[in-house]
Amino acid sequence: MCGIVGYTGSKEAYPIIIKGLKRLEYRGYDSTGVALQNGRLKVYKKKGKVAELEDSLVGKNLHAHVGIGHTRWATHGEPNDRNAHPHSSASGKLAMIHNGIIENYAQLKQELIRKGYSFKSDTDTEVLLNFIEDIKTNNECSLEEAVRIALKRVVGAYVILLLDESMPDTIIAARKGSPLVIGIGKGEHFLGSDASPMLEYTKEVVYVNDYELAIIRPDELILKNLGNEKITPYVQKLDLELAAIEKGGYDHFMLKEIFEQPQTIYDCLRGRLDANAGTITMSGIQKYAEQIMNATRIIMVACGTSWHAGLVAEYIFEELCRINVEVEYASEFRYRNPVINPGDVIIAISQSGETADTLVAIETAKAKGAIILGVVNVVGSSIARVSHAGAYTHAGPEIGVASTKAFTAQLAVLTMIALKIAHDKGTISKERYMHLLNELNEVPEKVTRVLELSDHIKKLAEKYKDATDALYLGRGFNFPVALEGALKLKEISYIHAEGYPAAEMKHGPIALVDEKLPVIFVATKDSYHEKVVSNMQEIKARKGKLIAVITEGDDTTAAICNDVMAIPEADEVIAPILSAIPMQLLAYYIGVAKGYDVDKPRNLAKSVTVE
Ligand code: M6R
């Protein structure tokens, strides 16, 4: 994780870096720092968010045309001023920022200690920096050469940006496993963990690949591999507007993103789904359509909310396509030497496309011969690039740390893929296929109606905000929605919440139920409904507070609940896209009512690029 920014050109570097860091704070926000190059290297860093560093620097002379900045999500060493980046080398002549983890840092550190080095921080970054400086000094070589030599010994993941006092206009950058984008301006270059820091300056970007090293000056971008061979930078046009990464009048990104869902789902369906013609066109998977259709097994790999989308998809694929589906936590899948058989297809689901666990899991499966299909939001991200085929979710930048619009877009894409396979395989009747196409087509309009519940849910949030625990229950297609509801509440409000299959609740969690426990059911009208209502009765009998997402007009279920959130009727295959939204709003309003920073909840980061 961590966000990195760099600038070299004729403009003042500091304001560009600070603004860029604010946009990248979703990647980590426990400490911040900048290094400015103005004849001498100056480093300013501090525990806390970017705004706190900015406040502490008011009145200082920050004039410089070259600089780097970092917003941290701690891995090695607690969040404090010492461990904040940039780090300075022993001589004070180099400064470096780093996103990632150097796994063999302890060994490198011991080697350096034996040579007489001491360390000011607890970080792996300072070790790598001094390792580079040691190579530079001993070999009397350039910084570029020293970085190359050092990186051949490094185990782990990194994006590093370095400044060298003796090269006043140059930034040296390198990447393996963490994202790095270089923006190309007129006589200037921008660097970032994503393109957001450079949006108002340029639309021309280069995505740096693993094992590449860049030497960046105002008028020059040299890209090389670790073998010192030059690579021609592949310049791409950014299809992203500034407005997409601003709050647009909402109090929080999370609320903006929740309210964007009618549009994001529409964007996701647009050009793919034609309900009148009865077609689904997904050009990104066309080349592998045959293999996907004939897959003997589909394995969904993902983390967090994306894993929940995979769980919903398991129900949908098995129901519609009659293909065996397994849903795996990417982090577990990777480390248990998974069995991959010929004919297995992996669907990797990720908003950021940079989640390290997911990335490593699919690399493992790819090496074993599986076909990888990426369902990814961020265009050009690592997972998108390593996948054989894929479908973007087109939800636009998701900045709030809690995933919302990306989840519903993932569900929309996965549903379309399932419908396409089912249609091509003949495992769905024409009538049901057409019905589901029409249902999917109506989702954006129904989401607009769900969002009208916002004020009502805000009042519920006030009523339940002081709960210390909550239980989320659902069955079938709505079971993963219950898990997602619990995750949202935990992340945003710090209330302990558990998601469970509604029926499984009686095998243990029911012991938690008393008159203080809110139990949130996802109980829309579907083939499981009667059974879910029985589970609700079991909670009611034990005096739990019953809150439920129900289908509009279902007065019978409403009558047994303390509170309900009624959403438009939808086929059970489609319903999770709608039922997830009241969960998002409830978590959001409870988090706000408790006075928390819902866009940047404690200890979290948006893009988890460490394993
Ligand atoms: O970018 P990804 O979808 O791969 O991220 C996976 C999880 O880290 C992410 O969904 C996380 O659980 C969110 N904080 C959930 O709101």
78 or 311, which is more confident: 311
pLDDT band at 245 (very low <50, low <70, confident <90, very high): confident
Where does the pLDDT of residue 439 fall: very low under 50, low under 70, confident under 90, or very high at 90 and above?
very high
Residue from 303, 358, 492, 493 to probe ligand 1 pocket by mutation (most atoms less than 8 Å from CB): 303
Q: For residue 244, what pLDDT is reported? A: 78
pLDDT at residue 174, as a whole number: 97
**Final residue of a structural domain among 223, 243, 263:** 243
The pLDDT value recorded for residue 39 is: 87
What pLDDT band is residue 470 in, cutting at 50, 70 and 90?
Answer: very high
Q: Are residues 312 and 347 in the same domain?
A: yes
Q: Which of 93, 167, 85 is nearest to 132 (CA)?
A: 93
Ligand 1 centroid–CA 43 distance in Å is: 32
Instruction: Kindly state whether residues 403 and 524 are assigned to the same domain.
Output: no
Closest ligand 1 atom to the C-alpha of 352?
1
150 within some domain: yes
E strands present in 211-343: 212-217, 220-225, 230-231, 235-237, 273-274, 279-280, 297-302, 324-329
| Rounded average pLDDT over 5-32 | 94
Q: How high does pLDDT run on average in the chain?
A: 94
- Ligand 1 centroid – CA 109 distance (Å): 33
**Residue of 29, 327, 354, 355 with the most ligand 1 atoms within 8 Å of its CB, for mutation:** 355
If asked whether residues 259 and 231 sit together in one domain, one would say no
Q: Which atom of ligand 1 is nearest to the CA of 401?
A: 14
pLDDT tens-place string over residues 322-368 = 999 999 999 999 888 889 988 899 999 999 999 999 999 999 999 99
Residues with CB under 6 A from ligand 1: 303-306, 350-352, 355, 358, 401-403, 487, 491, 604, 607-608
Whether 446 is covered by a domain: the verdict is no
pLDDT score at 329: 96
**219 and 257 both lie in a single domain:** no
Does the residue 373 lie in any domain? yes
Q: Whose CA is nearest to atom 16 of ligand 1?
A: 402
Q: What is the pLDDT of residue 567?
A: 98
- Considering only CA atoms, give the Rg of the chain: 25
Residue 242 has pLDDT above 90, yes or no: no
Closest CA to 597 of 405, 401, 320, 366: 401
**Nearest ligand 1 atom to alpha carbon 402:** 16
Domain boundary among 196, 224, 243: 243
Please indicate, yes or no, whether residues 293 and 424 belong to a single structural domain of this protein: yes
CA 300 vs. chain centroid, Å, equals 16
User: What is the mean pLDDT of the segment spanning 382-393?
Assistant: 93
Is pLDDT at 540 greater than 80 in this prediction?
yes
Measured distance CA(42)–CA(49) in Å, rounded = 20
* Interatomic CA distance for residues 270 and 252, integer angstroms: 27
Q: Say if residue 435 is in the same domain as residue 510.
A: no
* 312 falls within a domain: yes
Reported as a single tens digit per residue, the pLDDT across 179-219 is 899 999 999 999 999 899 999 999 999 999 999 999 999 99
Does residue 113 sit within a domain? yes
Residue 177 reports pLDDT greater than 90: no
- pLDDT beyond 80 at 609: no
Provide the pLDDT for residue 74: 83
| pLDDT tens for each residue of 127-171 | 999 999 999 999 999 999 999 999 999 998 899 999 999 999 999
Domain count, the chain: 3
Q: Which residues are catalytic?
A: 2, 606
Query: Hey, what are 545's tokens?
Result: 């507070």
Same domain assignment for residues 210 and 297: no
How many CB atoms sit inside 10 A of residue 52's CB?
A: 14
Mean of pLDDT values over 420-433: 96
User: What average pLDDT does this structure show over 73-90?
Assistant: 91
Between the CA of 393 and the centroid of ligand 1 the distance, in Å, is 14
Alpha helices in 44-122, H assignment, sequence order: 50-56, 105-114
CA distance 211 to 151: 9
Give 551: exposed, middle or buried? Use CB within 10 Å, 0-12, 13-18, 19+.
buried
- Is the same domain home to 277 and 215? no
Q: Which of 300, 301, 305, 411 to mutate to test the pocket of ligand 1 (most atoms within 8 A of CB)?
A: 305
Q: Are residues 466 and 435 in the same domain?
A: no
In this prediction, residue 73 carries a pLDDT of 85
Please indicate, yes or no, whether residues 470 and 398 belong to a single structural domain of this protein: no
Model confidence at 605, in pLDDT bands (50, 70, 90)?
A: confident
Rounded percentage of the chain residues whose pLDDT exceeds 70? 100
Element (H, E) at 472: strand 469-474
Residue 286 binned pLDDT confidence (cut-offs 50, 70, 90): confident
Nearest atom in ligand 1 to 403's CA: 16
CATH code for the domain of 514: 3.40.50.10490
SS3 category, 364: helix
Using the mean position of ligand 1's atoms as its centre, give its distance from the Cα of residue 462 in Å: 27
Nearest-CA neighbor of 198 among 253, 147, 236, 251? 236
Please report the atom of ligand 1 found closest to the CA of residue 358: 4
Minimal CA–CA distance to 278: which of 125, 431, 135? 431
Mean local confidence (pLDDT), 558-567: 97
pLDDT at 468 over 80: yes
Residue 608 maps to a domain: no
Once rounded to an integer, what is the mean pLDDT over residues 452-470? 97
Query: What pLDDT, on a 0 to 100 scale, did the predictor assign at position 41?
Result: 97
Alpha helices in 336-390 (DSSP H): 356-367, 382-386
Instruction: Tell whether 611 is covered by a domain.
Output: no
Enclosing domain of residue 166: 3-243
Same domain, 416 and 475: no
Other beta carbons within 10 angstroms of residue 231's beta carbon come to 15
Residue 262 pLDDT greater than 90, yes or no: yes
Q: 87: domain CATH number?
A: 3.60.20.10
Amino acid identity, residue 322? R
The pLDDT of residue 507 is: 92
Question: Above 90 in pLDDT, residue 299?
Answer: yes
Same domain, 34 and 87: yes
311 C-alpha to ligand 1 centroid (Å): 14
Q: Are the C-beta atoms of 5 and 68 separated by less than 8 Å?
A: yes
Pocket test for ligand 1, best of 178, 360, 608 (most atoms within 8 A of CB): 608
Where among 184, 214, 243 does a domain terminate?
243
Q: Which residues pair with 5 in a beta bridge?
A: 69, 192
Residue 304 Cα: closest atom of ligand 1? 12
Query: Both tokens of residue 159?
Result: 């994006």
Structure confidence at residue 247 as a pLDDT band (50, 70, 90): confident
CA–CA gap between residue 14 and residue 10 (Å, rounded): 12
Instruction: Give nearest CA residue, ligand 1 atom 12.
Output: 304
Tell me how far apart the terminal alpha carbons of the chain are, to the nearest angstrom: 10
How far does residue 411's CA lie from ligand 1's centre (Å)? 14
**Is residue 253 included in any domain, yes or no?**
yes
Cβ contact 425:317 at 8 Å: no
Confidence of residue 458 (pLDDT cuts 50, 70, 90): very high
Rounded Cα distance between 440 and 272, Å, is 11
| Distance between CA atoms of residues 183 and 190, nearest Å | 5
